[in-house]
């Protein structure tokens, strides 16, 4: 039967993965909710963050320096994208936005291949973080605990920013009525650029932290982007709270599904059939969940627009 230690360990890994998804989903859902912009290139910023951090980390032998360079660099690229292209797309249909940002994905993937080559980069863990804490006889890697800590801090920061500050007020006002905020003398374009930059920095942060866990590879952005989209759909577009709950849910289901679904299937299927069906079913699990959520709540679990 299922080993409780293993279950706990995988639950922990699932939460950590969920936190990673949250960092991406938070930026994307804000951009979605406030600017009504479908940005597929969000995953490219994540990839860019991971590659820049990996290069600096390896060259300078300092993970901290990697973060210190990758975040502002990606922030800069994000703002550049917003000012040059995306700004012109706010008033366009979603199809135009999808296509233009799809073009960006092609561009960035090829750019990374040109600069760094087709092979990925393994990022070594800083020695300090390469340890484990033991809780109830279960070793928990310090690095993963750190990732969860950073994610929770970001969640708290975003909550305070959006709900308690003047900038947050402008963000929410801009989301509900762009023209009116502009008419009141506020430079709404600046607010949009700021929000987009914030999203880019969060994507880079996720990329940096993913480096030592998954390595930096071309296409890493798209694979996770699809899962992030599922998170946003489940959570409700534009809702940070929805993104947080959705991300943890998807992270845990994804990891637990891969680890335990074959054991579960073996309870009522022959061993052979279970071993064939389990990986297939595990990879479909989150999409089935999404279809289910949509069937009962088409606007997601925490619809932001209505409330």
Partner 1 sequence: MSLSRETIVVIITFALLAIVPFIASLTEVPFYLDLGRRMMILAIGALSLNLIMGYGGMISFGHAVFVGIGAYVVGICAEHEIVSGFIQWPLALIVCAAFAFIFGAISLRTRGVYFIMITLALAQMMYFLGVSLDRYGGDDGLPLIEPSNFSGLIDLSEKTSLYYLVFVLLLLCLWICKRLVNSRFGMVIQGARSNEARMQAIGFPTYRYQLTAFVIAGAMAGLAGVLLANHTDFVNPDMMHWTRSGDLIIMVLLGGMGSLAGPVVGALVFILLEEALSGITEYWQLIFGPFLILVVLFARGGLLGFLEKRKTSEGEGD
| Interacting residues with partner 1 (CB under 8 A) | 32, 36, 38, 85, 88-89, 92, 94-96, 98-100, 102-111, 113-114, 222, 226, 229-230, 232-233, 237, 276, 279-280, 283-284, 287-288, 290-291, 294-295, 298
Question: CB–CB of 75/201 below 8 Å?
Answer: yes
Q: Which is nearer to partner 1, 135 or 273 (CB)?
A: 273
Minimum distance, C-beta of residue 124 to partner 1, in the bound complex (Å): 28
Q: Which is nearer to partner 1, 298 or 307 (CB)?
A: 298
Q: Which is nearer to partner 1, 51 or 108 (CB)?
A: 108
Minimum distance, C-beta of residue 147 to partner 1, in the bound complex (Å): 25
Minimum distance, C-beta of residue 5 to partner 1, in the bound complex (Å): 27
Q: Which is nearer to partner 1, 114 or 128 (CB)?
A: 114
Q: Which is nearer to partner 1, 99 or 213 (CB)?
A: 99
| 64-71 contact pairs (CB < 8 A, 24+) | 64/126, 66/123, 66/208, 66/211, 67/205, 67/208, 70/204, 70/207, 70/208, 71/201, 71/204, 71/205, 71/208
First-last CA distance in the chain = 45
Q: What share of the chain is helix, strand, coil (3-state, %, to 5)?
A: 80, 5, 20
Minimum distance, C-beta of residue 282 to partner 1, in the bound complex (Å): 8
Separation of alpha carbons 129 and 254, rounded Å:
25
Minimum distance, C-beta of residue 157 to partner 1, in the bound complex (Å): 26
Q: Which is nearer to partner 1, 36 or 263 (CB)?
A: 36
Minimum distance, C-beta of residue 58 to partner 1, in the bound complex (Å): 23
Tokens of 30: 């804000």
Minimum distance, C-beta of residue 272 to partner 1, in the bound complex (Å): 11
Tokens of 44: 């490219």
Separation of alpha carbons 17 and 98, rounded Å:
26
Q: In the beta sheet, which residues pair with residue 231?
A: none
* CA angle in degrees (0–180, nearest 5) for 129-131-136: 130
User: Closest Cα partner for 53 from 180, 186, 212, 168?
Assistant: 212
Q: Which is nearer to partner 1, 207 or 235 (CB)?
A: 235
């Amino acid at each position: 039967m299922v080993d409780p230690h293993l279950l706990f360990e995988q639950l922990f890994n699932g939460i950590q993965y969920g936190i990673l998804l949250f960092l991406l989903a938070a930026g994307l859902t804000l951009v979605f909710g406030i600017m009504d912009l479908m940005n597929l290139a969000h995953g490219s910023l994540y990839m860019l963050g991971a590659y820049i951090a990996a290069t600096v980390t390896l060259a300078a032998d300092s993970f901290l320096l990697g973060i210190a360079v990758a975040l502002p660099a990606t922030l800069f690229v994000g703002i550049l994208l917003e000012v040059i292209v995306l700004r012109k797309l706010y008033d366009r249909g979603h199809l135009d936005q999808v296509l233009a940002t799809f073009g960006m994905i092609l561009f960035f993937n090829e750019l990374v291949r040109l600069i760094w080559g087709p092979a990925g980069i393994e990022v070594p863990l800083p020695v300090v973080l390469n340890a484990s804490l033991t809780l109830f006889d279960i070793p928990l890697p310090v690095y993963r605990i750190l990732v969860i800590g950073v994610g929770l801090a970001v969640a708290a920061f975003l909550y305070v920013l959006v709900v308690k500050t003047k900038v947050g007020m402008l963000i929410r006002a801009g989301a509900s009525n762009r023209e009116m905020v502009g008419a009141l003398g506020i430079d709404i374009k600046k607010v949009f650029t700021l929000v987009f930059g914030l999203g880019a920095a969060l994507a880079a942060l996720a990329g940096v932290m993913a480096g030592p866990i998954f390595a930096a590879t071309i296409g890493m952005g798209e694979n996770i982007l699809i899962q992030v989209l599922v998170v946003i759909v489940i959570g409700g577009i534009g809702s940070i709270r929805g993104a947080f709950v959705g991300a943890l849910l998807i992270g845990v289901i994804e990891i637990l599904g891969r680890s335990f679904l074959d054991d579960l299937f073996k309870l009522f299927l022959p061993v052979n059939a279970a071993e064939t069906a389990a990986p297939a079913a595990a990879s479909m699990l989150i999409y089935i969940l999404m279809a289910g959520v949509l069937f009962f709540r088409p606007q997601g679990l925490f619809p932001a627009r209505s409330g």
